[in-house]
Amino acid sequence: MAAQEPPPDDSAPDESEILVEGQRIVDFGAASDLARDVARRPRSTVPMARLTAPLCLQLAIDDEAKGRLIGRRIIANARAANIAIAEVGCRPNALVIIADNMRAKIDEYRRDGRRFFGSLKRHQIERALRVRDPVYVFHDVVFKTNTRGGIDRKTRMNLVTTAVMMDSQASSGLSAHQVADYASLRLLAPSRELSELENSGARTIMTLFADPSRAPPEMTRLDRSYLVTLYRLPSRASAVDVLLETSRVLLEDGAQGP
């Protein structure tokens, strides 16, 4: 399972090639609920974690042809969110692995006694492994503040390294766009698996493994608005800041129609 870097950036589709599913949202409260559904339930006053260094993506995907498409799409998604892309030869800070028996491979690696991922502690790794979907997400986040034991307007949550590890059998029937868009949100933003949003009528790529037959073909307007907003706001922006602005964008887009 050799690691590989995506092709040079000039081969990646530009922002205009990314199509977003149209949805109409006309109620601010509903839009706010949708934004909260796509985010974890973070402490409201704590800044939301995000990459602060340029994205340096590394892939280890058994299906090389599909892997190239996935890599290009992830880079395009990052660009669309105004995330800087590192130059060729960079030190990877984002990893996507798609392989057979992914959980068994993780367990075997850990049994060997090797450091698993960044500075994550054992309980953090165990929590990441207790998931419904055949996907394991690891975020190594560094908390930076100038206030001892507290939070101020200069507090930052830096996403230093991030990884998505996916079982290839579970993802074999999914398109490269679906896998890449799902992986993009899991890599680049605090997100969680979602059930189908029955009451709102809106969909999210986060339901990809919960109900593949009904999952959208790519990121929805909700997904992309959340990701773009996270990286557009100042790095000190709290969960409330990000979610309210996402809600505002969704409402504004909904008023303009699909």
The pLDDT of residue 39: 58
pLDDT digits (tens, 9 = 90+) for 54-113: 999 999 998 999 999 999 999 999 999 999 999 999 999 999 999 998 888 887 777 765
pLDDT digits (tens, 9 = 90+) for 207-244: 888 888 888 999 988 889 989 999 999 988 887 788 88
The pLDDT of residue 199: 40
Q: Which amino acid is at 209?
A: F
User: In sequence order, what are the residues at sequence separation of 6 or more whose Cβ sits closer than 8 angstroms to the Cβ of residue 122?
Assistant: none
Q: CB 58: neighbour CB atoms within 10 A?
A: 18
Res 202 pLDDT > 70: no
Residue 37, token pair as written in the block: 């559904």
pLDDT digits (tens, 9 = 90+) for 139-181: 888 877 666 655 556 677 889 999 999 999 989 999 999 999 9
The pLDDT of residue 77: 98
The pLDDT of residue 249: 86
* CA 178 to the chain's CA centroid: 12
Under a CB-based contact definition with an 8 Å cutoff, are residues 102 and 166 in contact? yes
The pLDDT of residue 198: 37
